[in-house]
């Protein structure tokens, strides 16, 4: 559609006719070079434009200067959002290398605090970033100036576009402080994008807001490798986690209300209320029809049900002791770890013990991360099992009638969130399932959309939560299994700090001052990306890594230097992508549950065997009987050791992994064996981070978040 400067009047007119027939073009600016003004009849050109082409856009036929030379020489179609979208329009019709502007870093030494660096970079308007990576304006929903949601329809539009290279970043067994996976992920994309000029997307998890005000503070990478603006990244974002809180707690309220109403009403009264007479008619809602089908009742007329069918339909008969669905909050509220609910007189004595988890531990978060479409999410949200009936049947959210409402509450959350790095490369922030009792990886949808947008020559760098034994194993065997995607390269981040601790150094505790053995090694070193610890230490690590079979081992300094400090890593990743790979799942889904757990324990953790405790044995039987035996396994194990004991550092051996219990996330699609007790809602220390956090009412700047 781009016309040469020498285009004749006829050529211009022909192109306009083409545009007239393109319904996605709402308006255009025909920009004729000044020197063409006497060769081309402007009025004729003007009149060639179909009258409907300016309904909401801005149609203009001009001769003169159009300052942004890159807008094209001759004419630019406009969409309803204005003519700046024109540039974007041209790009999407020229798949290939992005025309993207990078943000130049002004590196300081010593490296300032994260917040000082974050504030020193002005983010590009996010609508511009969206256009630069080839998004159509209809596919983008702005949330302020620095965040946007992108629509899933992109996958369909770019269906025929081959995927880019898929790179996953993981780490060695960490210290409790984390060892820079996020920082390396961001540093690497800054290198591949701003320095190597390749199309590249980072896909990262949304952080939980609870810990931000507790011990952890904000995080979005660190140093000169960050997602900006940090405040937006750490607070609310576009409300996805809040939507999960709302959806999760609607299920919880529905469970207890249903048990209460069933306990206090006859079958007939229940049925009459569930299928009420309205305007002289009784009708099942579609969700109720689904339940009837599940029960094998092939009727749609409410008056046709037999008494037995009425009872089966109306009474879920939930065993209160079997409820596995917990309430959630995105707050570090330790006093909600175990509570008794239903103590008001209105609940007539139907009290029970319950608990709150942190929102990111909700199965709905795991569903969000593993779903592949709106329809698939609707299905997953419907088959989540919340309890067992007294007769041993799994009770789902669909049985409760709440599945549609959950989908409605999650309809915006399913769209990935677009942000950017310090150097102006694009980032998707989407989903952040708890890495303990869920799989700890960002969303499949963000990865899939990014792989389409970067195109076959581009790269998508996604991060797997926790260490390789947890995050990477689950990335391979759960996320890749559901997505159908296969990684081209794994980047394993190591730090001298973590290597030291696992080699026998003193214990590191989050929120406590670092023992001096570590303070002296301030920087992070990564492997194959290694960063400035002592020279000798780093050389040794790199040498040993390569000797152990790593494709390459590279020192990095992206924390101090941004993308420039990770160019060697970028080059190594690029080379590794070309190398052949033979990706295989660790286990087949069809083998027995216990065997799957054993394979993970032996091959990944180095255990001699597993031991199923009585409750776990019972669950193996129950889930096999209920038809959930084919699901992949998501181990709920400490990330601080390869074994089940957090203080066993290095590579422990000669241990038997005890499986205390097994739970099912049927909607998300995995079973999670509990190895020991997992804390599912953190607490606040005596002096939480919030003591330092404040807003300057003049500048509206957030202070103390980092």
Query: Please, which of residues 586-615 interact with a copy of itself by CB under 8 A?
Result: none
β-partners of residue 694 are: 703
Residue among 88, 124, 181, 258 flagged as catalytic: 181
Instruction: Please indicate whether residue 325 is annotated as part of the active site.
Output: no
Q: Is 64 in the site for a copy of itself (CB under 8 A)?
A: yes
Identify whether 147 is a catalytic site residue.
Answer: no
Cα dist from 661 to 291, 602, 634, 635, whole Å? 29, 19, 13, 11
Helix (H) or strand (E) holding 530: strand 529-530
Interaction with a copy of itself in 82-101: which residues (CB under 8 A)? 82-85
- Only one of the segments 159-167, 188-196, 343-351, 581-589 lies at the binding site for a copy of itself (rule: CB under 8 A); that segment is 343-351
183, 184, 495, 638: which is the annotated catalytic residue? 183
Binder among 16, 100, 154, 254 for a copy of itself (CB under 8 A):
254
Chain residues 507-566 in contact with a copy of itself, contact rule CB under 8 A: 513
Residue 181 annotated to the active site = yes
Residue 235 or 599: the one with the smaller Cβ distance to a copy of itself is 235
Query: Which member of 435, 468, 532, 566 is catalytic?
Result: 435
Give yes or no for a contact between 148 and 127, defined as CB atoms under 8 angstroms apart.
yes
Active site residue 670: no
Q: Is 466 a catalytic residue?
A: yes
Closest CB to a copy of itself among residues 192, 318: 318
Among 12, 25, 29, 367, indicate the residue that binds a copy of itself (CB under 8 A). Answer: 29
Please state the closest distance from residue 585 (CB atom) to a copy of itself, in A: 29
Per-residue binder mask for a copy of itself (CB under 8 A), 263-302, x = binder: --x----x--xxxxxx------xxxx--------------
The catalytically annotated residue of 88, 147, 216, 479 is 216
Kindly list the distances between the CA atom of residue 252 and the CA atoms of 329, 330, 334, 340, 413, in Å, as whole numbers in the listed order: 12, 16, 19, 14, 20
Bond before 249 cis per omega within 30 degrees:
no
CB of 25 to a copy of itself, least distance (A): 14
DSSP per-residue string spanning 307-343: HHHHHHHH---B-GGG----EEESS--GGGSSEEE--
Each residue 190-229 as x (binds a copy of itself by CB under 8 A) or -, in order, gives -------------------x---x----------------
Q: Under rule CB under 8 A, which residues in 667-686 are in contact with a copy of itself?
A: 683-686
15, 36, 59, 442: which one contacts a copy of itself (CB under 8 A)? 59
- Pairing state between β 609-612 and 165-171: unpaired
* Cα distance between residue 627 and residue 624, in whole Å: 5
Query: How near is the Cβ of 333 to a copy of itself at its closest, in Å?
Result: 4
> How many CA atoms, within 13 angstroms, populate the side-chain half-sphere of residue 581?
17
CB nearer to a copy of itself: give 309 or 347: 347
The residue among 105, 125, 124, 126 whose CA lies nearest residue 116 is 105
Site for a copy of itself in 463-492 (CB under 8 A): none
- Contact in structure between 188 and 491 (CB atoms under 8 Å): yes
Q: By C-alpha distance, which of 445, 472, 449, 451 is closest to 371?
A: 445
Catalytic-residue membership of 479? no
145 is catalytic: no
Q: What single-letter DSSP state applies at residue 137?
A: G
Residues 436, 63: Cα–Cα separation, whole Å? 63
Residue choice 249, 425, 442, 665 for contact with a copy of itself (CB under 8 A): 249
Q: Are 189 and 424 in contact (CB under 8 A)?
A: no
104 is catalytic: no
Q: Are 312 and 306 in contact (CB under 8 A)?
A: no
Near a copy of itself in 135-174, by CB under 8 A = 141-145, 149
The CA distance from 320 to 325, in Å, is 11
> What is the sign, positive or negative, of the torsion defined by CA atoms of 254, 257, 259, 265?
negative
Subset of 372-431 contacting a copy of itself (CB under 8 A) = 373-375, 378, 401-405, 407-409, 411-412
Residues annotated as catalytic are 181, 183, 205, 216, 435, 466, 527, 559
């Amino acid at each position: 559609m781009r016309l040469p400067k020498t285009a004749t009047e006829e050529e211009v007119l022909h192109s306009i006719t083409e545009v007239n027939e393109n319904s996605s073009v709402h308006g255009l600016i025909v920009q004729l070079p000044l020197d063409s003004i006497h060769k081309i009849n402007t009025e004729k050109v003007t009149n060639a434009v179909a009258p409907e082409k300016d309904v909401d856009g801005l149609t203009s036929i001009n001769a003169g200067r159009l300052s942004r030379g890159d807008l094209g020489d001759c004419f630019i179609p406009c969409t309803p959002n204005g003519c700046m979208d024109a540039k974007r329009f041209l790009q999407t019709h020229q798949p290939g290398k992005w025309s993207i502007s990078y943000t130049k870093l002004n590196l300081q030494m010593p490296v300032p605090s994260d917040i000082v660096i974050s504030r020193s970079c002005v983010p590009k308007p996010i609508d511009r970033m969206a256009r630069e990576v080839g998004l159509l304006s209809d596919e983008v929903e702005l949330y302020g100036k620095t965040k946007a949601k992108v629509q899933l329809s992109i996958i369909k539009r770019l269906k025929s576009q081959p995927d880019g290279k898929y790179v996953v970043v993981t780490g060695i067994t960490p210290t409790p402080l984390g060892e820079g996976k996020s920082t390396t992920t961001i540093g690497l994309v800054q290198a591949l994008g701003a320095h190597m000029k390749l199309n590249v997307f980072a896909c990262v998890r949304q952080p939980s807001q609870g810990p931000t005000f507790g011990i952890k503070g904000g995080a979005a990478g660190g140093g000169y490798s960050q997602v900006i603006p940090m405040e937006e990244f750490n607070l609310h974002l576009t409300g996805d986690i809040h939507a999960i809180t709302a959806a999760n707690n609607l299920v919880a309220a529905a469970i207890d209300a249903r048990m209460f109403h069933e306990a206090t009403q006859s079958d007939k009264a229940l049925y009459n209320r569930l299928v009420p007479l309205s305007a002289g008619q009784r009708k099942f809602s579609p969700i109720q029809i689904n339940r009837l089908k599940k029960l094998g009742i092939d009727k749609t007329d409410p008056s046709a049900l037999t008494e037995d069918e009425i009872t089966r339909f109306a009474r879920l008969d939930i065993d209160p002791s079997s409820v596995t669905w917990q309430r959630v909050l995105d707050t570090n509220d330790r006093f909600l770890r175990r509570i008794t609910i239903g103590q008001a007189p209105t609940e007539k004595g139907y009290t029970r013990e319950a608990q709150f988890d942190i929102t990111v531990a909700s199965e709905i978060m795991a569903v969000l991360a593993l779903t592949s479409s709106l329809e698939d999410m609707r299905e997953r949200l419907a088959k989540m099992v919340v309890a067992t009936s007294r007769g041993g049947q799994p009770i789902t959210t669909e049985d409760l009638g709440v599945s549609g409402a959950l989908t409605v509450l999650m309809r915006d959350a399913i769209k990935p969130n677009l942000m950017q790095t310090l150097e102006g490369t694009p980032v998707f922030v989407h989903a952040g399932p708890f890495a303990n009792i869920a799989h700890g990886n960002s969303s499949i949808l963000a990865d899939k959309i990014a792989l389409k947008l970067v195109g076959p020559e581009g790269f998508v760098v996604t991060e797997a939560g926790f260490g390789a034994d947890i995050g990477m194993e689950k990335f391979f065997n759960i996320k890749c299994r559901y997505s159908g995607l296969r990684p081209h390269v794994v980047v394993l981040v190591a730090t001298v700090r973590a290597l030291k601790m696992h080699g026998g150094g003193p214990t590191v505790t989050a929120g406590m001052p670092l023992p001096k053995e570590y303070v002296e090694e301030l920087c992070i070193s990564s492997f194959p990306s290694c960063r400035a610890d002592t020279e000798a230490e780093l050389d040794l690590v790199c040498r040993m890594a390569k000797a152990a079979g790593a494709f390459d081992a590279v020192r990095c300094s992206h924390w101090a230097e941004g993308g420039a400090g990770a160019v060697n890593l970028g080059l190594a990743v690029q080379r590794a992508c070309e190398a052949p790979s033979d990706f295989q799942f660790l286990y087949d889904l069809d083998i027995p549950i216990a065997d799957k757990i054993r394979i993970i324990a032996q091959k990944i953790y180095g255990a001699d065997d597993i031991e199923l405790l009585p409750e776990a044995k019972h669950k193996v039987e129950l889930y096999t009987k209920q038809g959930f035996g084919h699901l992949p396994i998501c181990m709920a194990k400490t990330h601080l050791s390869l074994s089940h004991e957090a203080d066993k550092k290095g590579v422990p051996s000669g241990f038997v992994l005890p499986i205390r219990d097994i739970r099912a996330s049927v909607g998300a699609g995995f079973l999670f064996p509990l190895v020991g007790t997992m804390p599912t809602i953190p607490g606040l220390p005596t002096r939480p981070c919030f003591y330092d956090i404040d807003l300057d009412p003049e500048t509206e700047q957030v202070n103390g978040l980092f």
